Each structure stands twice: as structure tokens, then as C-alpha cells.
Amino acid sequence: FYALYMRSALAKRAVTLHSSPRVLDANSTTAAVSPERFWGSYRPQVYFGMKTRSPRSVVTGLMWMRQFSAKGVNLRHTCEQGDRLRSYGWLMHDGVNFGMQQIQDTEFTLTTTFVKRMGGDHGGDWTWRITGKQHSTAPDPPVISLMFYVATDTQGSLQAHVENRTRLSHITGTSEELGNFKITFGKPTGGEASPNKYASYNYLQTLSPGLDQLTDIVKYSLSNRFVFSPSTAERRLYFAVDTYTPPPHLQKDNRIQSDFVVHQVTVQVPFQIEVLFESGSVHDRPNQLMGSVLTEELTRLKLSYNEKFEETFGLQAKGFNPAQVRFGKAALSNMLGGMGYFFGQSVVQSAYSEHPMLYPEGALFTAVPSRSFFPRGFLWDEGFHQLLISKWDPQLTREAVAHWLDLINVEGWIPREQILGDEALSKVPSEFVVQHTENANPPTFFLVLEEFLEQLEAHLDAPQFRDTLPFLRRLYPRLQTWFEWYNTTQAGPLPNSYRWRGRDKDTNLFLNPKTLTSGLDDYPRASHPSEDERHVDLHCWMVLASRIMTSMARLLGEPHQEYERTHLTLSNNSLLSELHWSEQLHAFCDYGNHTQAVSLQQEKIVVPPGQMRHQLPVKRLVRSVRKAPKLQYVNAFGYVSLFPFLLHVLTPDSQKLEHILKDIRDPARLWTPYGLRSLSLSDPIYMKRNTEHDPPYWRGAIWININYLALRALHHYSSIEGPYQEKAADLYQELRTNVINNIYKQYHETGYIWEQYSDSTGRGQGSHPFTGWSALTVLIMAEEY
């Protein structure tokens, strides 16, 4: 009975939040406390949409489709790689007041702009301006339907106001956090020169069981019984929202029904159209934010954005040409425009619970790695994101870090992948949903904290850093538990060694069982996961963590001796070498139960007599082990081997540093004209698939987060005295040029920033747009480390 009781108590702790006062007050994101950041493009998963930073926000958005296309109806709404847009992304976005995005569809370009204006008690007003232009001067410019929508999420209500039977002139509404509001739909114009533009109008007013259903509702409501007739000579049937009856499988959805209103405008390019949101609490509006007033405001905002960008990153001063500077602005803007506000519950599995449990409800304000493929928060990605954001707007960073740390449980664990709310959940295959409480992810927030400590040191009195110290104070108890969690749950077999938990269990199915928790997924580790393993990257993360904990404790006047002791021990280069230096490989690496003699082979199936071949199960690839594993160093050379250098653990006079610098520059190992590849060209697992369905990921490709760390380290070792100072400086210049040139070139050619880059051609690959850590290029261009 006692054991059972203990198990259930421990299981419960997994879903119990940390008990220290939250970093964020309960009302910190409300319109009353943070009006400037109330409304925002906090729905990075859709091409264009806005919401407020509140749990059940009213959401607004845009869908569109091309009419009269031979290819049928192509409704665009959530960012999908399958839409095969030539490119899309924010060209400018200041994270607070305005943003301008360009979307290149197959035959036309949409520009989607928002501008906010403060006033009243509910986060003020905003206006959207959408322009449509043709790519080429083909004779018959495309006709497009824009579908502007507003949806409530379990609270609030909307009323549609219709003129001339089919045109929604405006929507009025009310919700808990917005009070009364009005959304006005302007008529399209053909630009300054032609104020009158033919358009057809339709609308839909219905109910939705959840925000994840909006696309389908619109799709199911379409019919092509409507006539587009700009002149008497021309009459064509087009698709428009009509009436909506839920299909049988959706009739069973018994969630609360919420208002959903769609305004459809069908118009031929070129056009310009505006939508105004006006808060009922603004009484002293000098004018409406539209037309020439909006144009003027936009000009002002763009100007100050450009000035701030140059002030912050100085790309022009460094000699980058205007196109490169525009690229830098787009990278930063997509990071900022990729920030989302999510609310919901993670599904977590503890070792002590039989079934997955629901984590407490929580909010997360975070940037996302990729708006199309994974538009949600990832723990170690976020540390990298905030390195860039903190240079632009430290307040945004404090809020993001605070949200993440407020999700920590009483044990000190933070779910790695945050799938919060129905919309987020609808994008994730079920096998990836559950988060395991024994699993870590690199604690990259310590890099951000280091940045804060440096900012404080350099400009203690500057107004934008005034809030940093009280912020760190509130964060501190949570960081202590977080640090302790890594230090205990991820401890390795030897004193002062560390081991990632949660490696793949089904060893026989993989060429090398993955270590998702390390962030480096399929990067080769010990072939046979065991408790004897020790991981050098995690060791180095702990060096960083203990160093920052020491500095923070000092700064806050808290006891620091314990952290300092840990840091002195872990950073001791001889200990590190004892644990991780392989004389055979002449490099740092993991240790564990390992053999290199593995390969994937067709499963051997014995045909029972009398059975026909075609009745047999399909053959799989399985792992064959030609030589038994033994305890030894895992002689793989790649990103993991670089960590003592990447995180500045090596002393500048270390001979091992010399080895690393040499190996980095070696084209037969990590060096390419496009950046450092993840795994040595000469490694047996280089570019090998892990299973028949699992192509190589961190087995050769160039990743920008690690290249950023490498450049940061080269910069570090080139600026402190030591025998390899000059060598580091040379490598720094060369690597920096290679990385910048390639990402820029790829962006120019493909319209996107990518998840990773091919080490053989430099081509962007994987998910796109990926303006999470790949956007660190801006810091590399600016040489801000």
C-alpha cells in the first residue's frame, strides 16, 4: 500500500507546478497591464491573423483563394508547405506596433500589413491593409477571394452587419477582455489612381466548435453558384461561402459552440483593401486609422524601424549592401512575427503514472522554430531565439523566458515541446504528443541569462534594462530547481558525469537509437543505450549552467559557493579529458556500450513450407550487429565533439583546442564552403538513414544554431590571449563569410530561410520557412555574440 501511495504521490508531483511565486503576475499580459502587447500577430501558424495575449482570445484572420483556376479550389489559411508558396514572411516587424508581410502565391503577391494604435482600456485599435499585385503582366489578371474572419473562443459574441444583402460592412462584438468592439471592412480600391473597383461579396455567419475547425467550416460551406460579373459581357461562376451544415463526423463534436463570421471579397488584382478594428473604449479618436492617415503612420513606423535596426545591428555600417540588409531585416522580422501566445495543457507521462496525465493549464508566449511545420514552442530552440530577440527588445525576452519558467513543475522539469490548445494539437501526430517527465533538453536559457548579465554589467542604468534585476530575482528560485533537476536526474555513472535520459528503446530497429532530448536527435551516440553512458554535450551544458548560476547568485546576494564548487569541478579540463577525451579519435566524445559494426539490413524472414511468398509480411530494415558492443568511447566526430569549445569550457591554452580548430578546418571532417557540417564526412554513420522511413537529420547537414555557437566561440578565443588566438581569428572570418553568404544566397534563390543546409551543395532543406535559430544569421552579420 505504501509503495502504491508513493507512486501516486510522485505521479502527482509531475503535474504540480513549482511553488515559488510566479515570475509573471496573473494579469501581466492583460490590456490593463500591458496594452502595447495586447494585440499582436500572435498566431504564427496562420499566414495572417491576430489575437490578444489572453487565454480565450477573439481571433481574427485571413484566408484566400484564387478563382477560376484550372487547378480547382486552393484555400490558404494555416501555413502549409504543401501550399508551395514561392515565399512568405515578414519583411518588417517590430514585435509590437506594426508588421508588413509579403506572400508570393503562384500568380500574385499579397502584402499584409498591420498597424496598431493605442487608446482606451482594451489594447487600442488596429488596421490591416492588404494589397494584391500580379507577378507578371499576363493579359488576364487573377481574380482572388479574400476571406476575412473573426472567431470567438468559448466566450464573447459577434454580430454581422450586412448591406446590399451580401456585403458585410462591419462586425460588432464583445468579449471579456475586449469589451465592445467594431470591425469595419473597407471596400477594395484599385490603388490610388482607381478608387472604384468591382468586387463581389459574400458572408458566412455560423458557429464553430473550436479554432482548429475554421478552415474546414469554410471549405464545407463553399458553393459555386455565385456570379462574378465585372461587365455585362463577362459572367463567371465563382466559389463562395454559402450556408454551412456540419458534415456527419463533425456533428459529434460536442465542444462549446462559438461565433464565427466570415467576410468574403472577390476581386481582381491589383487591389488594396483595409480592415479596421476599433475598441469601444476609445472615445477621443482624432481620426480613423485608414487611407492616407494609415499611409503616413506606416511611413513613420518604417522609418523608425529602419533606424532602430541600424542602431542595433549596424549592418550598413559593416558594409552589407541594401539587399543583404533587407535580408537581415526579414530574418529578424520573421523571428518577431513568429512569436505566438498559446494556452492549454501538455499531456505528460511520468515514470510513476500508468497513463499520461494532463499538465496544469498554462500560457506560453514564445517564438516558434517554423510557422508551417512546427508552430509551437520548443525548449532549447527558445534559448537561441531569445539571443536574437533580447538584442532588439529585452522586454519581449523577459516575458518569453518568464512564461517558460512559469511552466516548470515542482520537480524542476519543463516540458520540451509545448503543444497547447486544440489548434496546436491538431498539427501534431498523436505519437508525438506525450512529453516524458524524465526527459531533458539543453538548458539554452542559460545563454540568454548570460546575455542579461552582460547587458546589466555594461549598461546598468539604461532604461531598457531597468527591469532586468527584479526579473532575475523572481526567476531565481525556479532556476535553482531547474539546475538541480538536471544535476540529479541527468547524472551519469561516474561522479561529475552526465547522461541524457530518454534515448530510443527499441534498439534493433534503428541504425543508432535516437537521443531526441539532446536536441541533436539522430546524431550518433553509443550504439547500445545503457546506464553506463556519459554525454559530453550535456557535461558542457552543465558547465555553462553552473557558471551562470554562480554569477546570478553573486549578483543577487544569494549563497553561491555550492554553484561555484560545481562549476570549478565540471570545468576542470583534466576531469573533462578523463571523462571524454578519446586518444584514439583525438577528440572529445561520448562514452558507452558501443560498437561501430552495425548496419541496416533487410529482415530475414523464413518462409514456412507451403506458404506463398506474397502472403508474407513486408520486409523491414532491421539493424544487424556484426561485432558485440563493449564499453568504450563512441568514436564519432562532429558537433558533439565540439561542445567543450562551443561552450567555452576549454582554457585558451589547451592543446585540445588546437586539435579542434584543425579538425574544424578539415574538409574531410567538418569544413564546407557553407558552414560546419554536423558529422564528419569520414564517420561511418555520415548521411546514413536511421530506418527506412527516417532519413539522416543531424548526420551531415549544416545547422545554424551550432554554427552560431562555433562563431561565438571562435570570436571568444580570438579575443582572449592564447597560443591559438590568431588561428581562431582566421577561422572566424572564413566561417562567418561562408555561413552568411550561403544563407543569403539560398534565401535569394528560394524565397526562404531553411531548417538546415546541405553540406554538399549548400541548398536549404528540411522545414521552411524556418526562422527560428536559422535567423541567428542576423547576429552573425552584426557580430553580436
Identify whether the C-beta of residue 16 lies closer than 8 Å to the C-beta of residue 410: yes
End-to-end Cα separation, the chain, in angstroms:
55
Burial of 709 (0-12, 13-18, 19+ CB in 10 A): buried
What is the total count of residues that contact ligand 6A9 (CB under 6 A)?
A: 13
- Cross-strand partners of 374: 370
Transcribe 377-407 into DSSP letters.
EEHHHHHHHHHHHHHH-HHHHHHHHHHHHTT
Query: Among this protein's residues, is 105 annotated catalytic?
Result: no
Minimum Å gap between C-beta 431 and ligand 6A9 is 9
Minimum Å gap between C-beta 537 and ligand 6A9 is 12
- Rounded Cα distance, 656 and 359, in Å: 44
Query: Which residues in the 350-369 window bind ligand 6A9 by CB under 6 A?
Result: 369
Minimum Å gap between C-beta 316 and ligand 6A9 is 31
Minimum Å gap between C-beta 441 and ligand 6A9 is 7
Kindly tell me which of 210 and 772 has the beta carbon lying closer to ligand 6A9: 772
- Rounded Cα distance, 553 and 555, in Å: 5
Inter-CA distances, 485 with 302, 381, 438, 482, 542, Å: 45, 19, 10, 5, 11
Kindly tell me which of 57 and 366 has the beta carbon lying closer to ligand 6A9: 366
Kindly tell me which of 369 and 412 has the beta carbon lying closer to ligand 6A9: 369
Binding mask 190-209 for ligand 6A9 (x = CB under 6 A): --------------------
- Rounded Cα distance, 169 and 616, in Å: 64
Q: Is 629 in the site for ligand 6A9 (CB under 6 A)?
A: no
Binding mask 724-763 for ligand 6A9 (x = CB under 6 A): ----------------------------------------
Q: Which of 121, 216, 242, 521 is catalytic?
A: 521
Inter-CA distances, 386 with 379, 398, 593, 643, Å: 11, 9, 37, 20
Query: Which residues in the 764-783 window bind ligand 6A9 by CB under 6 A?
Result: 772
- Rounded Cα distance, 316 and 301, in Å: 19
Identify whether the C-beta of residue 328 lies closer than 8 Å to the C-beta of residue 784: no
Q: Is 378 in the site for ligand 6A9 (CB under 6 A)?
A: yes
Name, in order, each residue with C-beta under 8 angstroms of 344's C-beta and a sequence gap of 6 or more: 361, 362, 419, 420, 421, 422, 424, 425
The one among 381, 423, 533, 663 contacting ligand 6A9 by CB under 6 A: 381
- Could you tell me the three cell numbers for 577? 579529458
Minimum Å gap between C-beta 603 and ligand 6A9 is 26
- Rounded Cα distance, 443 and 489, in Å: 14
Kindly tell me which of 42 and 523 has the beta carbon lying closer to ligand 6A9: 523
The one among 375, 519, 644, 762 contacting ligand 6A9 by CB under 6 A: 519
Nearest to 629 by CA among 696, 699, 530: 530
Identify whether the C-beta of residue 215 lies closer than 8 Å to the C-beta of residue 285: no
Minimum Å gap between C-beta 75 and ligand 6A9 is 18
Kindly tell me which of 427 and 474 has the beta carbon lying closer to ligand 6A9: 427
Kindly tell me which of 95 and 369 has the beta carbon lying closer to ligand 6A9: 369
- DSSP single-letter state for residue 232: T
* Count of CA atoms in the C-beta half-sphere (13 A) of 84: 3
- Rounded Cα distance, 80 and 89, in Å: 13
Minimum Å gap between C-beta 329 and ligand 6A9 is 23
Q: For ligand 6A9, which residue has the nearest CB?
A: 369
Query: Among this protein's residues, is 311 annotated catalytic?
Result: no
Minimum Å gap between C-beta 619 and ligand 6A9 is 26
Kindly tell me which of 352 and 373 has the beta carbon lying closer to ligand 6A9: 373
Identify whether the C-beta of residue 390 lies closer than 8 Å to the C-beta of residue 449: no
Residues in the chain, total: 785
- Rounded Cα distance, 58 and 273, in Å: 22
Kindly tell me which of 50 and 367 has the beta carbon lying closer to ligand 6A9: 367
- Could you tell me the three cell numbers for 303? 522609418
**Interface with ligand 6A9 by CB under 6 A: which range of 97-105, 372-380, 401-409, 728-736?**
372-380
Identify whether the C-beta of residue 595 lies closer than 8 Å to the C-beta of residue 630: yes
- DSSP single-letter state for residue 702: B
- Rounded Cα distance, 531 and 520, in Å: 19
Minimum Å gap between C-beta 690 and ligand 6A9 is 12
- Rounded Cα distance, 257 and 114, in Å: 29
Minimum Å gap between C-beta 755 and ligand 6A9 is 7
Q: How many helices (H) and strands (E) does the chain have?
A: 18, 33
Minimum Å gap between C-beta 546 and ligand 6A9 is 23
Binding mask 390-429 for ligand 6A9 (x = CB under 6 A): -------------------------------------xxx
- Cross-strand partners of 621: 602
Kindly tell me which of 374 and 752 has the beta carbon lying closer to ligand 6A9: 374
Q: Is 643 in the site for ligand 6A9 (CB under 6 A)?
A: no
- Rounded Cα distance, 566 and 648, in Å: 16
Query: Which residues in the 432-451 window bind ligand 6A9 by CB under 6 A?
Result: 432
- Cross-strand partners of 378: 417
Q: Which of 663, 755, 759, 784 is catalytic?
A: 755
Kindly tell me which of 231 and 430 has the beta carbon lying closer to ligand 6A9: 430
The one among 36, 80, 521, 658 contacting ligand 6A9 by CB under 6 A: 521
Kindly tell me which of 68 and 432 has the beta carbon lying closer to ligand 6A9: 432
Contacts 24+ apart (CB under 8 A), 247-252: 247/220, 250/209, 250/213, 250/216
Minimum Å gap between C-beta 420 and ligand 6A9 is 15
- Rounded Cα distance, 685 and 119, in Å: 59
Name, in order, each residue with C-beta under 8 angstroms of 297's C-beta and a sequence gap of 6 or more: 115, 117, 289
Kindly tell me which of 64 and 374 has the beta carbon lying closer to ligand 6A9: 374
- Could you tell me the three cell numbers for 631? 564499453
The one among 149, 181, 271, 380 contacting ligand 6A9 by CB under 6 A: 380
User: Which amino acids are annotated catalytic?
Assistant: 521, 755
Binding residues vs ligand 6A9 (CB under 6 A): 369, 373-374, 378, 380-381, 427-429, 432, 519, 521, 772
